[in-house]
Amino acid sequence: MLQQQLTSLLAQTDIALTEKQQQQLVQYVELLNKWNKAYNLTSVRMPEEMMIKHIMDSLVVAPHLPGHHYIDVGTGPGLPGIVLAIALPDTQFVLLDSLGKRVRFLMQVKHELGLKNVTPVQSRVEEYQPSVRLDGVLSRAFASLQDMVDWCSHLIDHSGKFIALKGVFPSDELESLPAGIKFEQKIALEVPELDAQRHLIILSKD
């Protein structure tokens, strides 16, 4: 049933996924649902809801990531990182979270789905030092733009981007960006069957 739902949702987008990628997304939802009962990883309880509110909500970002190395800060149970890693198998993702139970779940997902392009890391973002030059820092429901920039500034150089997944366009947050940070782009995202606004906010260093 989840497979049929995913096929139907994908048909409402321009995103093309192989059969294997679709199976991996379904498997991920099943794992999330199973572990959620004990680990309380997400407030979304129904797998059918997860498919829209987590999978599609993350998937619509995939066409807007041109680079090959990203970090998902405050990834939680792997959102958007796991979903994007499935959709973009040639792109590497570090999935950073400070909670051990979430990182254990991510290790299990990586193992069961055979994801070679995912590196789960347990760390506070301020203490993490990337081993490669990152194209971007991703955050979904993690913090305000100001906090994101403050905490993650050491992760990227001037060629990297801060990429925030937001709901309603955050005009107040953009007005109070710290000096040296430039607003580059906003992208309105359409999530099938989700009755809510979604925006991708892209920032860079001046």
DSSP for 47-107, written as a single string: HHHHIIIIIIHHHTTGGG--SSEEEEET-TTTTTHHHHHHH-TTSEEEEEES-HHHHHHHH
> What's the DSSP call for residue 202?
E
Annotated binding residue at 76?
Answer: no
Annotated binding residue at 140?
Answer: yes
Annotated binding residue at 133?
Answer: no
> What's the DSSP call for residue 177?
P
Q: At a CB cut-off of 8 Å and minimum separation 6, what does 75 contact?
A: 81, 82, 95, 96, 97, 102, 106
Annotated binding residue at 74?
Answer: yes
Annotated binding residue at 126?
Answer: yes
The pair of structure tokens assigned to 42 is: 């997400």
Provide the annotated binding site.
Answer: 74, 79, 125-126, 140
Provide the annotated binding site for S-adenosyl-L-methionine.
Answer: 74, 79, 125-126, 140
